[in-house]
Amino acid sequence: YSLNNPKKFVICMHGHRGNREGLQKYSWALYRLGYSLVFYDHRSHGDENERENVTMSYQEHKDALEIIEQVKEKFGQDIELGLFGNSMGAATALSCTKERQDLSFVVADSAFAGVNYLVEAFIKIHKSPKFPILQLTEMFIKHKAGFSYKDVSIKDIVKENKNVPILLIYGDKDEIVFPKNAEILFTNIVAPKRLEWFKGATHCNAVVTDRNRYYKVIEEFIKENVK
């Protein structure tokens, strides 16, 4: 971790096939607001973890809940603690709100509304028939990784979050998480929320497209929602 203020923390979560090193360009806005940052590699990611099934936030969010508890045990149950994630990391962060209503906020960059929407996007890109590929893919996932589409339905999970403010960030040219994911999630979130679009940005590239605005949006959101 990168220690800044010992009473203010953000746990940062990377996307599928990423690692903790790639999160630094996203998190600078949080560090300059005084937050200490915690970086880690998801299961089956990074150089130090064994290779195993990636579950697109199903098991990963359980790992994240353990890390949240470890941070609170080490630095105090009363600390201000937020989450940042991109892509799979964003879905993981949003999933944590179901069990942790004591989180200060979540910043979710390019989050998918459910694994089924990722599969549907793949089908559309490759101009394949939705039936039976969508159903066969779920059967394969159940057999290989032990979860189903309903287990990673982020749009349903966020309905259960009543208190944790959520900032959604998307690029309007995202070629992996299609724009409808943003609309679905934003509609289903009942907690304080904000949705920001970045024109011309592809998947998880809003920070590259307009770094200054990206940092400004995060700073404004936190200042408005965390007292």
pLDDT tens for the chain, 227 residues long, are 789 999 999 999 999 999 999 999 999 999 999 999 999 999 999 888 888 899 999 999 999 999 999 999 999 999 999 999 999 999 999 999 999 999 999 999 999 999 999 999 999 999 999 999 999 999 999 999 999 999 999 999 999 999 999 999 999 999 999 999 999 999 999 999 999 999 999 999 999 999 999 999 999 999 999 98
Residue 105 and residue 225 in contact, taking contact as beta carbons nearer than 8 Å: yes
DSSP string across 147-204:
--GGGG-HHHHGGG-SS--EEEEEETT-SSS-THHHHHHHHH--SSEEEEEETT--TT
pTM: 0.95
Pair of tokens at residue 97 = 């709100």
